[in-house]
Structure 1
């Protein structure tokens, strides 16, 4: 599974970069006439927006008890 609480995602710029790449690729696919791929990448961007931007808590531990 994908661990959205991994410490690598703590910096905001990384989370926003992933969102921009997924959303930008989805828009690119839509503009070039590929609605199937556009739907996939825009859905991915929506999930990234929710899990890595809106609901993300940078202070939450990643499950490691150290």
Structure 2
């Protein structure tokens, strides 16, 4: 079990992947604008990690069954 399982069937629709990245990155930017640098860094980092996992290395096929 992974902490962030980007191969989960929940993330197959493109709109969910876009929304996940968009919400986390937008919230991080909002936190920076409000002067909360810790939370801004945290959420922008999660957005970047989500972008990498959901668009760069994402595999939309069903995972192979484990024996």
Question: In structure 2, what is the equivalent of residue 19 of structure 1?
Answer: 21
TM-score (norm. length: structure 1): 0.87
| Deviation sequence 1:13-43 (CA, Å, 0-9, x none) | 1000000100000000000101110000000
> Is the partner of 2:58 in helix, strand or coil?
coil
Q: Give the equivalent residue in structure 1 for 2:60.
A: 58
Aligned length: 64
The gaps in structure 2 that reach 5 residues or longer are: none
Aligned partners of 1:38, 1:18: CA distance in 2, in Å? 16
Q: CA-atom RMSD, angstroms?
A: 1.3
* Runs of 5+ consecutive residues of structure 1 not aligned to the other structure: none
Structure 2 equivalent of residue 5 of structure 1: 7
Runs of 4+ in 1 over 4 A off after TM superposition: none
Q: Residue 3 of structure 1: CA displacement? A: 1.5
